Amino acid sequence: RSPWLASDPGAAAALPCEQPQPLPPLGEPPPRRRPARAPRVGSGRPVAMVEWFRSQDMEFVSIIVNEDAAHSCVREIGNIGCVQFTDLNTELTPFQRRYVSSVKRCDELERKIRFFTAEIDKFGLPRSSETTVDEFMAAEAAEQQKTAVHMLETYEAELGEAESQLLELNSYSEKLTQEYNEKVELQEVLIKSQSFFEMDIPFRVVDEPNYNPLSGAAAGSETGAGSAPLLDDGFAGRDDDVRFSFATGVIPLEDKARFERALFRNTRGNCYVRFAEIEQPVTDPVKGTLVQKLVFIIFYQSASIERKVKRICDAFGARRYAIPDPAGGNGQAINAAMKANLTDLSEARKVLIKNRDLRRILCEDLATKVENWLRVVVREKAVYHTLNLYKADVHGMLRGEGWIVADQLETVKNLVSASHATFDVAGSSLIEPVP
């Protein structure tokens, strides 16, 4: 017993039953039953959900428009979205089309808008528009007419001015960031180098018979008086050849192992290198990312090794800094250099912050316009792409063909006629079905 049948046997007879259809004669296809069409949207009648999934009756039509009003006609037809044009210039390449120059100009405007969007995203600013998409599509005819005629010239001038201002501020920001980074790195080099020379002082051992090398003091001595500086006051004057030269600079943390290995192999181990990490990451002036860097100091003796060290530093992109020699009581010179550099560092930071504030103000203004700019440019680019499908059979006239929803044919005729009347070329358009 089927659970869908009524429990009362008599109620089963009351259920509606579809009458069987007679079978067609042999050899003939069964008749096709066309379902009843649901009313269209906007007709005043209720619309079924399946209306959105059903096909509409279509007609293949030919549209002939005046070239002056073609842009306005295509834009108005695109707003109702009921026509699909076919390409009448299949033998032409994209670069041979009639409106290829206008498409390229729209592409350039899109590139500028993408540049603005990337700069806005760097500051984390939200992109908003004064109007919604529906309000934009329902804009006044006068404003749309102004956009159709002067859009490319007006937007090219407006976007070009904004791009030049932003590029100029970005170039200044890159230079200021580079100078600020150099001062930060120089300050770190001065601090780390001073600590290197203060901690890593070599010692010599006094020649005593009972000296214990493990304890660093003579046997029987409790004060450790058996050690003395390796380079005493008069030693440098006796033999200047043992004095070591040094080079200081900064490299990225990720290059430390390769840099150290290259130094060892090229100098055959005849150099001594020390590293110290910079606690605060440095901003890359080009990418804007934070980079962790190291301060290095390399000790060497001969001029040939010095040339090799310089070439290796240049190959790794290491920035070298010249600092006063701490040996011979030049600690005061390093302190003076640190103090002067700290003053320059403070001034560079103020200028860099001012530049960043100006860029942010400009990006905040662009964030309110970029969405509307993008809508207009995308729409105009689509219009010119559609006009490239038209064929210029007669001078001053364009002909297009395509499929149109049958019950929207009169609406399209009225839109085309209104567009031609706006340009004072009424009566020069024609829309007729193609048999």
**HEC-encoded secondary structure of 133-167:** HHHHHCCCHHHHHHHHHHHHHHHHHHHHHHHHHHH
Closest CA to 368 of 160, 119, 122, 126: 126
Which distant-in-sequence residues (6+ apart) come within 8 Å of 325 by Cβ? 246
AA letter at 343: T
For 51, list phi and psi in degrees, rounded to 5. Answer: -60, -30
Output the pLDDT for position 137: 64
pLDDT tens series, the chain, 435 aa: 334 334 444 444 444 444 555 555 555 555 555 445 545 444 444 445 455 556 788 999 999 999 888 998 998 898 888 899 999 999 999 899 999 999 999 999 999 999 999 999 999 898 877 667 666 666 655 555 555 657 788 889 999 999 999 999 999 999 999 999 999 999 999 888 887 776 654 433 334 444 443 344 444 444 444 444 444 444 444 444 456 788 999 999 999 999 999 999 999 888 989 999 998 888 888 787 889 999 999 988 888 999 999 999 999 999 999 888 766 555 688 888 889 999 999 999 999 999 999 999 999 999 999 988 898 899 899 999 999 999 998 888 999 999 999 989 999 999 999 888 888 876 678 899 988
Output the pLDDT for position 383: 92
Which distant-in-sequence residues (6+ apart) come within 8 Å of 56 by Cβ? 405, 406, 407
Unique residue bearing structure tokens 């550099």:
341
Q: Which residues share a beta bridge with 376? A: none
Tokens of 207: 């020649």
Q: Is the pTM of this model over 0.85?
A: no
Output the pLDDT for position 372: 87
What sign does the dihedral 195-198-204-209 (CA atoms) show? negative
Unique residue bearing structure tokens 């700069």:
119
Do 67 and 400 meet the contact criterion of CB atoms below 8 Å apart?
Answer: no
CA–CA separation, 317 and 248 (whole Å): 13
Output the pLDDT for position 201: 47
Q: How many CB atoms lie within 10 A of CB 213?
A: 8
Output the pLDDT for position 79: 86
What sign does the dihedral 333-338-340-344 (CA atoms) show? positive
Q: Map the chain to HEC letters.
A: CCCCCCCCHHHHCCCCCCCCCCCCCCCCCCCCCCCCCCCCCCCCCCCCHHHHHCCCCEEEEEEEEEHHHHHHHHHHHHHHCCEEEECCCCCCCHHHCCCHHHHHHHHHHHHHHHHHHHHHHHCCCCCCCCCCHHHHHCCCHHHHHHHHHHHHHHHHHHHHHHHHHHHHHHHHHHHHHHHHHHHHHHHHHHHHHHHHHHHCCCEEECCCCCEECCCCEECCCCCCCCEEECCCCCHHHHCHHHCCEEEEEEEEHHHHHHHHHHHHHHHCCCCEEEEEECCCCEECCCCCCEECEEEEEEEECCHHHHHHHHHHHHHCCCEEECCCCCCCCCHHHHHHHHHHHHHHHHHHHHHHHHHHHHHHHHHHHHHCCHHHHHHHHHHHHHHHHHHCCCECCCCCEEEEEEEEEHHHHHHHHHHHHHHHHHCCCCCCCEEEECC
Output the pLDDT for position 263: 93
Output the pLDDT for position 159: 94
Output the pLDDT for position 29: 58
Which distant-in-sequence residues (6+ apart) come within 8 Å of 178 by Cβ? 285
Cα separations in angstroms, 411 against 198, 321, 370, 405: 89, 76, 33, 10
Which distant-in-sequence residues (6+ apart) come within 8 Å of 144 by Cβ? 72, 75
- Cα maximum dimension of the chain: 130
AA letter at 1: R
Output the pLDDT for position 138: 62
